[in-house]
Structure 1
């Protein structure tokens, strides 16, 4: 774990870790109930509010230079768009977008097709997370494209708040220049990460594989302080946008849900 990464985790990467229980969507806390989220494909023709909760009105701590705002979450041209814009919101001078599932999901295949934002100091993230606000340990599985180098994506996982499993994988042509497919297959004894169908990381050490069911997140945020990790923040003067065309979860043992799914090709 880098110093910057460690510093960020102290304050919490995602909003759920710092929200009060009363501010969270009112869903059951039992893992058995939460880990049965059914397989789905969402092509974002609309924002299904029975599936997605929009983060709104808070930030994650001193490292984050924007406030989550529902105004930065929209559906446009059949895609989900998360924005980052210079607009005084709450305690911050910038506003940014995040969504998270209402349900938790366990072992299975997680896939998303998206184009990341452009800009040093920004983080375009697709990940799963659960933590103390949900009365669970901090478990997490990440894809994060850092604006300082959009030619690569960082994969990582946290188990009971312990990380240090970062690996960088190339994204040909740049993650902000076109749509790419990111996927991970989470099993009890194996975790595999894929970029555009290519295996980029395989984890088989049980101590480095999360066990708690998690919520699915997409987020776009910035920093003024974590420049060593995310790059020096430099707002271009124009809004930045992360665009998501598709996300899917396939439960273990189920057939692939769409032709491009990595589950159609894996054993």
Structure 2
């Protein structure tokens, strides 16, 4: 863990111990590293000078010289040059720059993302996970109109199900936490949790999810903020981990905004 990550870990433990922010032993984040039945299956501290492409792809599974999610009407086209590693952190940079994409459209922004998935539709995913404890220390950009996200998509490449560990949808104060599923009639459904606070762009915050067979529990800085236990809503399929900086979802950035950066200090995945 980097020195920044170590400080965050200590602060989380102090927060839980002191009961700050409404934390109690029942609603604080588990400590997988301190128990024998958890094992660390993915760890990246971003300590080098380049992205570890053995762990991470820089597009979705439908990569064709870049990618986006066109059904969301997002403004960005993801490109690997917008992903950098330096100084013990990963940086995803969104820039206002027109790019003609392989889908024939012109996108007004380029941005960066990482995924444990494939390099293209026909390859195998790098890493997939069914259940576990997922956490990342992330500093979001201060600009409005951005959508920094930390989420999970099925290895089948089709959603739902989907788990959104963290989304800031166009704002910098409100964390959205979602689970998406199909009901018995095959209709798409979703449930949302919200946690609002100031100061997210000012430093790193730890966003985490405990995914087990009978529950989904979301944590922000070590404190539980959302829980889902209804059986039909819990996914039971292998998933890829994704961190991305979308643009214009759902709000367009201010015309004076030309640049935004999202930083990731570390990522961890634990499994029993």
TM-score between the two structures when normalised by the length of structure 2: 0.71
Q: How do 1:34-183 and structure 2 match up within 5 A?
A: 39-46=41-48, 47-55=51-59, 56-61=65-70, 63-90=73-100, 91-101=106-116, 102-130=126-154, 133=157, 138-142=160-164, 143-148=166-171, 150-160=172-182, 162-171=188-197, 173-183=198-208
* Whole-Å separation in 1 of the counterparts to 2:220 and 2:180: 20
Greater than 6 Å deviation, 4+ residue runs: none
* Whole-Å separation in 1 of the counterparts to 2:155 and 2:160: 4
Contact 2:88 2:265 in 1 (8 A): yes
* Whole-Å separation in 1 of the counterparts to 2:160 and 2:151: 13
Contact 1:131 1:137 in 2 (8 A): no
Q: What are the Cα deviations for residues 97-133 of structure 1, in whole angstroms up to 9, with x where unaligned?
A: 1110021111110000010122222100001111653
Q: How do 1:206-217 and structure 2 match up within 5 A?
A: 206-217=231-242
* Whole-Å separation in 1 of the counterparts to 2:199 and 2:189: 26
Contact 2:140 2:261 in 1 (8 A): yes
Contact 1:119 1:236 in 2 (8 A): no
Q: Which of structures 1 and 2 has the bigger CA Rg?
A: 2
What runs of 5+ residues in structure 1 fail to find an aligned partner? 1-36, 253-267
Contact 1:121 1:233 in 2 (8 A): yes
* Whole-Å separation in 2 of the counterparts to 1:194 and 1:52: 24
Counterpart selection for 2:228 from 185, 198, 203:
203
Give the Å deviation of 1:64: 1.1
* Whole-Å separation in 2 of the counterparts to 1:235 and 1:132: 38
Q: What are the Cα deviations for residues 78-111 of structure 1, in whole angstroms up to 9, with x where unaligned?
A: 1000011012222212101111002111111000
Give the Å deviation of 1:137: 5.1
- CA RMSD across the alignment: 2.0
Q: What are the Cα deviations for residues 202-228 of structure 1, in whole angstroms up to 9, with x where unaligned?
A: 1111111111110000000112xx5xx
The aligned residue for residue 16 of structure 1 is: none
The structure-2 alpha-carbon separation of the partners of 1:235 and 1:112, relative to structure 1 and needing over 3 Å to count, comes to farther
Q: What are the Cα deviations for residues 133-159 of structure 1, in whole angstroms up to 9, with x where unaligned?
A: 3xx5532111101232x1120000112
The structure-2 alpha-carbon separation of the partners of 1:241 and 1:108, relative to structure 1 and needing over 3 Å to count, comes to same
Contact 2:92 2:262 in 1 (8 A): yes
The aligned residue for residue 240 of structure 1 is: 260
Is the partner of 2:81 in helix, strand or coil? helix
Give the Å deviation of 1:235: 4.4
